[in-house]
Each structure stands twice: as C-alpha cells, then as structure tokens.
C-alpha cells in the first residue's frame, strides 16, 4: 500500500487510519494468473460451505477431469451423476454449467477482455449468470482482477469491522454504508481489506480468498 493510499484513508476516516497503523501493511495480493472462469467455478463451490469442504469438492473435480481447472467444454460434458459424485448439489451443478456455457459464448470474459471493462459493467454482466450475485462478482473484482475501488457493502465482515472500530451498536445498512464508503474512494478495496482485519481479530471472521 502506498503512502498516498494510507494518507487518503486516514484523512477520510481517522478511526480507520488508526486501524491501518495498528494492523500495518496491507498484504492483499490478487491472483493475477487466475481467469474469471476459474474464479467463478471456485466461488460456486464455496457458496454456503466451509472452505475445507469446498476445496474437497474442487479437488474431486480436478481428479475427475485430470485438470487444474476443467475446460468449459469438458465441464459441460460431465453428467449430473459425475458432478454429484464430486459433491455439487443440483443447483450448483446447474450454475457450473451456465458459467461454462457463458464462457464459451464470451459472456464470461477473459482477463484480457475484463481489463477493458468497468467494475459496473462486469457486475451487470456476471450477475446475469445462474447462481452468481453481486457479492460474488465483487470478490472476483477484488481478489482476482485486483480492482482497487470496490466496496462490498453487503459483506457482513466489512460492515462488522466498521461497526467495531467505530463503536456502533449496530452495523450500518448497506445503502448508508455505500454513502460512508464514498469517502474512501478511489481506494475502497484497501479500506474493505482493513475492515475485514478488524472483524477477523474480534470475531474470527476470515476474509474471502
């Protein structure tokens, strides 16, 4: 994190600035070699599951397809029974197939294509996929594409971190939190990372990876 980023966030919110000084350097490192297709497959596996269980499912999928990430065409060729054997529910299997189809038709962009798209355009396009919501796309923007100005206002951990450092009785509502976050622009992803840290330390909430 640059000195400029740190100074901007501290000026925007002195309480956040104190947290930044206490936590130290931001170690957020996006997975820049990962394609959006792979990130979405992983996101579907992790939905409503403990990370260990989700990784076990992905491991079985890798073993079945003999590939670190099954190609979209290969994924589409798998039967319901095969996906169920990996641990995917019917709903998750349907979401995986939709992601694969939309990757083949270009709806899910490559990293190179995504680099030419705005955050808003990516959110609008990818939220049209089955089983993919705004929060999932925001995590992709932060942790895969490395977008610097994403503020996931629906994320429990981010709102809880804000509540804790400001000593509030209740978390801010998403709409109000979005307005609060405007002051952190254009470094809202970094602000979110520090708020996750605050929640993690107090409540053992781990930020998405």
Q: Do residue 64 and residue 136 come from a single domain? A: yes
Q: Do residue 131 and residue 55 come from a single domain? A: yes
Residue 209 within any structural domain of the chain: no
Residue 87 within any structural domain of the chain: yes
CATH code, 10:
1.10.1670.40
Residue 208 within any structural domain of the chain: no
Residue 76 within any structural domain of the chain: yes
Each residue's pLDDT tens digit, 111-145: 999 999 999 999 999 999 999 999 999 999 999 99
Residue 90 within any structural domain of the chain: yes
The domain boundary, picked from 119, 143, 167, lies at 143
Write down the pLDDT at residue 206.
53
What's the CA gap between 22 and 185, in Å, rounded?
21
Catalytically annotated residue among 80, 105, 149, 155:
155
What's the CA gap between 172 and 123, in Å, rounded?
23
Residue 23 within any structural domain of the chain: yes
Residue carrying the six token digits 């939190």: 177
Q: Do residue 24 and residue 42 come from a single domain? A: no
State the average pLDDT for the chain.
94
Q: Do residue 156 and residue 131 come from a single domain? A: no
| Catalytic residue check, 13 | no
Q: Do residue 15 and residue 91 come from a single domain? A: no
Question: What is the token pair recorded at 174?
Answer: 């998403």
Q: Do 86 and 49 contact (CB within 8 A), yes or no?
A: no
Q: State the pLDDT confidence band at 202, using cuts at 50, 70 and 90.
A: confident
Tally of structural domains, the chain: 2
Peptide bond into 186 cis (omega under 30): yes
Residue 185 within any structural domain of the chain: yes
Structural domain that includes position 70: 36-143
Q: State the pLDDT confidence band at 201, using cuts at 50, 70 and 90.
A: confident
């Amino acid at each position: 994190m640059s000195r400029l980023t740190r100074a901007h966030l501290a000026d925007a919110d002195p309480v956040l600035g104190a947290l930044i000084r206490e936590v130290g350097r931001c170690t957020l490192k996006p997975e820049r070699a990962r394609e959006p297709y792979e990130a979405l497959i992983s996101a579907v596996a992790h939905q409503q599951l403990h990370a260990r269980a989700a990784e076990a499912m992905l491991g079985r999928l890798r073993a079945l397809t003999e590939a670190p990430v099954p190609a979209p065409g290969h994924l589409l060729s798998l039967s319901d029974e095969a996906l169920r054997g990996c641990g995917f529910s019917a709903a998750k299997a349907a979401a995986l197939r939709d992601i694969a189809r939309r990757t083949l038709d270009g709806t899910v962009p490559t990293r190179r294509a995504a680099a030419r798209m705005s955050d808003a355009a990516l959110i609008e396009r990818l939220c049209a996929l089955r089983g993919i919501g705004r929060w999932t796309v925001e995590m992709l923007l932060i942790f895969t594409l490395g977008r610097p100005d994403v503020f996931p206002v629906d994320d429990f951990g981010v709102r809880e971190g804000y509540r804790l450092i400001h000593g509030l009785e209740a978390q801010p509502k998403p709409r109000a939190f979005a307005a609060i976050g405007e002051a952190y622009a254009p470094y809202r992803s970094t602000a979110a990372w520090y708020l996750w840290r605050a929640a993690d330390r107090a409540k053992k909430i781990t930020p998405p990876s």
